[in-house]
């Protein structure tokens, strides 16, 4: 009948049960306030108590919902230095935009970075798509990153044994702070990352990996079990894992991880090569994305600067809505309506 909003929806959803409530506590409080039965002070006190007392079925307190926490509140929860840096930078720049720099020439890449640098927190690259890539290009990219205050994440999607991974990530970490990788080879590959960062001996060790737990392309082969195991590995190796590449709002429970969500454009749909797109607001409010990857909607725009500015504003507004949306999150309301 009444959802007290103390974690019931989440607990049931985790067990494959969809709950429908006639009334939520938030709605009941609103009705009582409107009819003069409660004052605003009492309503605020009840809301604060409920939000601070989210519980599991066994009575243990549920950690604060990542989706309702502001980025600056999550910094201290992050075990990985790069995750702390990204969360802090998103709050400073009032941006949760990551631009995918998938363009044919280095000259075009530099031009676009000068136009969009002020609006982005992360620039995601595929360095091998530039035919004239060299260490000098990496140095130039780092200079631009310092000028405009953004982080470089190489979307390499490594997936090999630990010894190979160790060499691969060390090479990339020479010019990028982050890299994406698969977990197909299990713990050994993450041990390789950990050893690489340790051997670099470069305090404050602001390096890390994003584990690919889900993909935005149609008919991809990642299974539910693979996603679950990848999430478990992220927790196990939280000192080197910055976050997860993911599409599901309730996948990441630890507020110290950053959810990197690709497949976003100004209009939903897809291309003829299997990529699917959702809107910016859906990426944040329904998919639970923290850092949102936008590529062609910006890089192929006639005015990349204006496109980046508009996208940054839309994404940030969605984030503000998410963290200030009363007791019940947009995701929980969506699940309740399914």
Condensed to tens digits (0 to 9), the pLDDT of residues 230-268 reads 999 999 999 999 999 999 998 999 999 999 999 898 776
| Topology (CATH) of 69-325 | TIM Barrel (3.20.20)
End-to-end CA distance of the chain: 17
- Specify the pLDDT at position 81: 98
- Specify the pLDDT at position 9: 78
The span from the CA of 123 to the CA of 142, in Å, is: 11
Interior CA angle at 40 toward 35 and 45, to 5°?
Answer: 125
Record the pTM. Answer: 0.80
The span from the CA of 299 to the CA of 303, in Å, is: 9
pLDDT in tens, 8-50: 877 787 777 887 888 888 889 889 998 998 998 888 888 878 8
- Specify the pLDDT at position 277: 81
Q: Which residue has the tokens 């720049």?
A: 93
Q: What tokens were used for 173?
A: 């970490």
Is 124 labeled as ligand-binding?
yes
Mean pLDDT of the chain: 91
Is 6 labeled as ligand-binding?
no
Task: Give yes or no for a contact between 210 and 243, defined as CB atoms under 8 angstroms apart.
Answer: yes
Contacts of 31 (CB under 8 A, 6+ apart): none
- Specify the pLDDT at position 91: 98
User: Which whole number is the average pLDDT over 124-149?
Assistant: 96
User: Which whole number is the average pLDDT over 125-152?
Assistant: 96
pLDDT in tens, 53-90: 778 888 877 767 899 999 999 999 999 999 999 999 99
Better-predicted residue by pLDDT, 26 or 330: 26
Is 275 labeled as ligand-binding?
yes
Nearest to 50 by CA among 39, 64, 34, 37: 64
Instruction: Please state, in angstroms and as integers, the Cα–Cα distance from residue 177 to each residue in 154, 182, 254, 303, following that order.
Output: 8, 17, 22, 28
- Specify the pLDDT at position 134: 95
Question: Among 30-44, 150-164, 169-183, 190-204, which is the least confidently predicted range?
Answer: 30-44
- Helical H runs in 117-251? 135-148, 162-172, 187-200, 224-236
Task: Give yes or no for a contact between 6 and 27, defined as CB atoms under 8 angstroms apart.
Answer: no
The span from the CA of 12 to the CA of 117, in Å, is: 43
Catalytically active residues, by annotation: 155, 157, 160
For the cut 70, the answer to whether the pLDDT of residue 222 exceeds it is: yes
Is 102 labeled as ligand-binding?
yes
- Specify the pLDDT at position 333: 46
- Specify the pLDDT at position 336: 43
Distance of CA 92 to the CA centre of its chain: 16
Q: How many CB atoms lie within 10 A of CB 103?
A: 21
Q: How confident is the model at residue 112 (pLDDT cuts 50, 70, 90)?
A: very high
The span from the CA of 51 to the CA of 41, in Å, is: 15
DSSP per residue, 61-103: BPPPPGGGS-HHHHGGG--SHHHHHHHHHHHHHT--EEEE---
So where are the chain's domains?
2-62, 69-325
Q: What tokens were used for 220?
A: 């991809």
């Amino acid at each position: 009948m009444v959802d007290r909003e103390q974690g019931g929806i989440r607990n049931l959803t985790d067990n494959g049960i969809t709950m429908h409530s006639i009334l939520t506590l938030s709605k009941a409080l609103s009705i009582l306030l409107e009819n003069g039965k409660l004052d605003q002070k009492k309503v605020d006190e009840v809301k604060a108590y409920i939000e601070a007392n989210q519980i599991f079925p066994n009575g243990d307190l549920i950690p604060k919902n990542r989706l309702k926490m502001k980025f600056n509140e999550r910094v201290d929860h992050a075990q990985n230095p790069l995750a702390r840096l990204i969360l802090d930078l998103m709050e400073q720049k009032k941006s949760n935009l990551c631009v995918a720099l998938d363009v044919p020439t280095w000259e075009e890449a530099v031009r676009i970075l000068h136009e969009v640098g002020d609006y982005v927190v992360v620039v995601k690259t595929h360095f091998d798509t530039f035919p004239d890539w060299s260490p000098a290009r990496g140095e130039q990219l780092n200079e631009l990153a310092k000028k405009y205050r953004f982080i470089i994440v190489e979307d390499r999607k490594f997936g090999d044994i630990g010894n190979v991974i160790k060499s691969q990530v060390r090479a990339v970490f020479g010019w990028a702070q982050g890299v994406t990788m698969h977990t197909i080879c299990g713990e050994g590959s993450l041990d390789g990352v950990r050893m690489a960062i340790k051997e670099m001996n470069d305090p404050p060790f602001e390096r890390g990996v994003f584990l690919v737990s889900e993909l935005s392309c149609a008919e991809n082969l990642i299974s539910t079990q693979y996603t679950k195991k990848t999430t478990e590995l992220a927790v196990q190796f939280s000192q080197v894992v910055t976050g997860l590449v993911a599409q599901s709002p309730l996948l990441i429970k630890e507020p110290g991880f950053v959810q990197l969500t690709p497949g976003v454009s100004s209009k939903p749909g897809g291309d003829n090569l299997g990529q699917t797109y959702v809107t910016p607001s859906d990426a944040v409010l329904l998919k639970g994305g923290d850092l949102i990857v936008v590529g062609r909607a910006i890089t192929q725009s006639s005015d990349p600067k204006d496109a980046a500015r508009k996208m940054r504003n839309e994404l940030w507004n969605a984030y503000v809505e998410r963290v200030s949306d009363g007791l019940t999150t947009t995701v929980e309301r969506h699940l309740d309506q399914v």
